[in-house]
A and B are shown apart, each in its own frame.
Chain A
Amino acid sequence: DAGVTQSPTHLIKTRGQQVTLRCSPISGHKSVSWYQQVLGQGPQFIFQYYEKEERGRGNFPDRFSARQFPNYSSELNVNALLLGDSALYLCASSLWTDTEAFFGQGTRLTVV
């Protein structure tokens, strides 16, 4: 069984640019969550989506947005990138909103 897949694995962007990160959940899982992990810290919750609807939002600015598609895959968009957005972006997949979550390998974003 394929796990959670994220693309790309690494990305370098310039300040002010926009970036789109992608996630495919485990087959049969309907919920996707996004987390940001800065080096040396635990993951911080950004969004949760279930059945294409936003079910939760963390304390992140409006530059961060996401969506979920009918096939349950998801995209995270970040506009007007700042140096501080450099982090590992993690996608987590779960069967429903309140079941255990399984993480992908992450997308490492570097903003220069």
Chain B
Amino acid sequence: QKEVEQDPGPLSVPEGAIVSLNCTYSNSAFQYFMWYRQYSRKGPELLMYTYSSGNKEDGRFTAQVDKSSKYISLFIRDSQPSDSATYLCAMRGNAGKSTFGDGTTLTVKP
């Protein structure tokens, strides 16, 4: 079983919809939680970086971490066609190694 499991998708939503992307994990040592966006054949772009449990908001993006349930989410409000990409969750302990999910591919239709 993988340390990080991500809802595989693909996910297709109409423009303006609220999108929910989710990951679960098994390693209690994870303390830092990240969301990356990756366009086709490009490197991942860091969207959100959070520490421990709670919510963090940045514009249309909200990252949510529930350490008691080992569950993290990324919400995208008012989704746009430009949000169409693969979203990767990642997490790590105190060391630098990050463990990634396999990504959820999102398509936002105009």
Seen from chain A, the residues whose Cβ lies within 8 Å of a Cβ on chain B are 4, 6, 31, 33, 40-45, 48, 50, 55-56, 58, 88, 90, 92, 94, 97-98, 100-106, 108
Residue-wise, chain B 24-67 has the 8 Å CB interface mask toward A (1 for contact) of 00000000101010000111111001000000000000000000
Q: List 7 A-B contacts (CB under 8 A).
A: A41-B102, A41-B103, A43-B98, A55-B96, A90-B44, A103-B44, A108-B41
User: Please, how many residues of chain B have a CB less than 8 angstroms from a CB on the other chain?
Assistant: 24
Contacts of A101 in B (CB 8 A): 46, 96, 98
Are the CB atoms of B42 and A106 closer together than 8 Å? yes
Most chain-B Cβ atoms within 10 A of its Cβ — which of A42, A43, A58, A101?
A42
Q: Which 9 A-B pairs have the closest CB atoms?
A: A42-B100, A103-B43, A97-B96, A48-B96, A100-B49, A105-B43, A45-B97, A42-B102, A103-B44
**B96 contacts A100, CB within 8 Å?**
no
Taken together as a complex, chains A and B put the C-alpha atoms of A45 and B100 apart, in Å, by 9
Closest to A108 in B: B41
Q: Is the CB of B99 within 8 A of A45?
A: yes
Known interface pairs A102-B46, A103-B44; A56-B102 also in contact (CB < 8 Å): no
- A-side binding surface: helix, strand, loop or mixed? strand
List 14 other contacts, CB 8 Å, given A101-B98, A104-B43, A105-B42.
A33-B98, A41-B102, A42-B6, A42-B103, A45-B97, A56-B97, A94-B96, A98-B95, A100-B46, A101-B46, A102-B46, A103-B36, A103-B45, A105-B43
Residues in A with CB closer than 8 Å to B32 are 98, 100
- Measured CA separation A105–B98 after assembly (Å): 18
* Bound CA span A40–B6, Å: 12
Q: Chain A residues near B41 (CB, 8 Å)?
A: 88, 108
